[in-house]
Amino acid sequence: MTMNTIEQLRQQWTRGRIGRREFIRRATALGAAGAIPSTLLMDAARAAPSRGGHLRVGSSQGSTTDSMDFSLLTSGFTRLFFNGFMSHLTELDPAGNLIPGLATSWESGAGATTWTFELRRDVEFHNGKSFGADDAIASINVHRGEDSTSAVKSLADQIADVKKDGSHTVRVELKEGNADFAFLLSDAAFGMSPVKADGTLEYGVGSGAYRVVSFDPGVVAHLERYANYHKSDRGWFDSMEIRVIADTTARQNGLQSGELDIIDRIDLKTAHLLDQAPGVEVLDVQGPLHVDFPMRTDMAPFDNNDVRLALKYAIDREEIVDRILRGHGVPGNDHPLSPSYRYFHHELPQRQYDPDKAKFHLKKAGMENLEVELSSSDIIFSGAMDTVLLYKEHAAKAGINIVPNRVPQDGYWADVWMKHPWCASYWFGQPTEDWILTVAYAETSNWNETFWKNDQFNQLLKAARVELDEGTRRQMYWDMQELIRDDGGAVVPNFSNHVLAYTDRLKHDEVVNGTGDFDGYMMLERWWFEA
């Protein structure tokens, strides 16, 4: 540890690139606790959790197309909402480790093709019904079948059959082995709902810490604590409301005026000012979140890989990280795996901004120049339209005219994403490589936003799930990253940190999950108000 390193860390804090708690965490991890100002240590003292209070959340994500159908998982608003009132067979702890949820234990047979889950026997749904194997089976099967519109259909397609072995034991048979299958069931879309006598599910009813009071799609959801929740050490608030506030300034004003308690996706240009405001904390959490610009590879001109490569070389990633993210992230390399993943390809050369190479690939595509429309909205991520405008400047030097198309914020995920030939998007990332690659890039996925079909990739994806040799499996994931980078349909300019702001009355565990906003979308259950 050198004083230069400490000074760099201090500069990140004073410039708003990391919050106070993150400064303390990193300084402590580097063995430099003595460099932490005493006033910060006093502010960050962790109090024991206490019950009570009404939580008010300002969410940047939400749409009038949102639904109580948890399989659709249409926005960040619904992801947070579902995790508030629903429980899952498995869960991720703040550090990203897989832990029991409604399943007390699980085990797989030879080849990881058979999985057996033992279920808790003390769980009650909000309608008073006891949770059992029939509910678990029906909740899993809603994602299966040719007609399924589930967001996780590509994951559920791995399942050959789901059976019960007694009232609280579920056996899942997979078509092919998957050593990471238990991780998949922790996703918000795999929530458990009670099955009715006719075999359908009762949407809007779960067994989570809070029960639904009201739900107005794209506007607000109200919940209240459920007295018979099966966890005694979680679910601290009496009640809560999650409001969709797409405008960043309005969210920040709501927090500073005391009308909101926590907001996501703050304006990174003013993060340092917000962190210095009385009674406000700013939290910077690293994770696999990345923004991208997916091109529909089934539509011209994006069906030509040289056009795709030209657009990938025509963006200055370093400048975007510096000017748009203000250092709250790192450059991307046109594939979805960040350095936080186990099988991240650290030897894959970082793609650099190179207008001459972009021109070269345009010429190979038979073009001297190119004009393409790029649809976006500030609801996608903080600074989304500014990123598009900066990208336009970069691409112009390669003879590419990017025409920004600012579209309405409401209905973006229903009307623009996967509809327009080229648009802005983002992905939270997932706990395992197979998960994010399957959902975002597998040919059969409902969320394959680039409509990319690559036989070699799809074969590797299936083979890697059952490969037990560590070296061979790593090489498979390395090969997949290279295929996506050089043939895939997405420009991935950067990985972004999750940056939250909240009242200093709110407290949380020392470690905060980085697989999504709001503590991996589990803050409703984990956080509490200081007594």
Q: What pLDDT score was predicted for residue 22?
A: 58
With a pLDDT cut of 90, the percent of the chain lying above it is: 79
Q: How confident is the model at residue 219 (pLDDT cuts 50, 70, 90)?
A: very high
Q: Specify the CATH number of the domain 208-286+497-529.
A: 3.40.190.10
Name the fold adopted by 87-190: Dipeptide-binding Protein; domain 1 (3.90.76)
**488 has a pLDDT exceeding 70:** yes
Q: What pLDDT score was predicted for residue 371?
A: 98
Q: What pLDDT score was predicted for residue 54?
A: 98
Name the fold adopted by 290-496: Dipeptide-binding Protein; domain 3 (3.10.105)
Q: What pLDDT score was predicted for residue 23?
A: 64
**Do 87-190 and 208-286+497-529 share a fold?**
no
Q: Which pLDDT tens digit goes with each residue over 45-81?
A: 456 899 999 999 999 989 898 999 999 888 889 999 9
Q: Which pLDDT tens digit goes with each residue over 353-398?
A: 999 999 999 999 999 999 999 999 988 887 899 999 999 999 999 9
Q: Give 469-508 as a 3 state SS string.
A: CHHHHHHHHHHHHHHHHHHCCEEEEEEECEEEEEECCEEC
Amino acid residing at 352: Q
Residue 55 to residue 359: CA distance in whole angstroms = 53
CB crowding 371-389: b at 16 or more within 10 Å, else e: ebebbbbbbbbbbbeebbe
Give mean pLDDT, residues 432-436: 93
Q: What pLDDT score was predicted for residue 31?
A: 58
Q: Which pLDDT tens digit goes with each residue over 337-360?
A: 998 888 999 999 999 999 999 999
Q: Which pLDDT tens digit goes with each residue over 293-334?
A: 999 999 999 999 999 999 999 999 999 999 999 999 999 999
Average pLDDT, the chain: 91
Whether the CB-CB separation of 237 and 506 falls below 8 Å is answered with: no
Q: What pLDDT score was predicted for residue 468?
A: 79
Q: What pLDDT score was predicted for residue 18?
A: 56
- Report strand pairing: 498-503 vs 490-496: unpaired
Write out the two tokens for 328: 């709250």
Q: What pLDDT score was predicted for residue 15?
A: 45
Q: How confident is the model at residue 39 (pLDDT cuts 50, 70, 90)?
A: very low
Domain map (residue ranges) of the chain: 3-43, 87-190, 208-286+497-529, 290-496
Whether the CB-CB separation of 281 and 20 falls below 8 Å is answered with: yes
Integer-rounded Cα radius of gyration of the chain: 23
Q: What pLDDT score was predicted for residue 340?
A: 83
**29 has a pLDDT exceeding 70:** no
CB crowding 226-257: b at 16 or more within 10 Å, else e: beebbeeebbbbeebbbbbbbebeebbebbbe
Q: What share of the chain is helix, strand, coil (3-state, %, to 5)?
A: 35, 20, 45
Q: What pLDDT score was predicted for residue 2?
A: 37
Give mean pLDDT, residues 232-241: 97
Lowest mean pLDDT among 32-41, 62-71, 511-520: 32-41
Q: Is 362 exposed, middle or buried (0-12, 13-18, 19+ CB in 10 A)?
A: buried
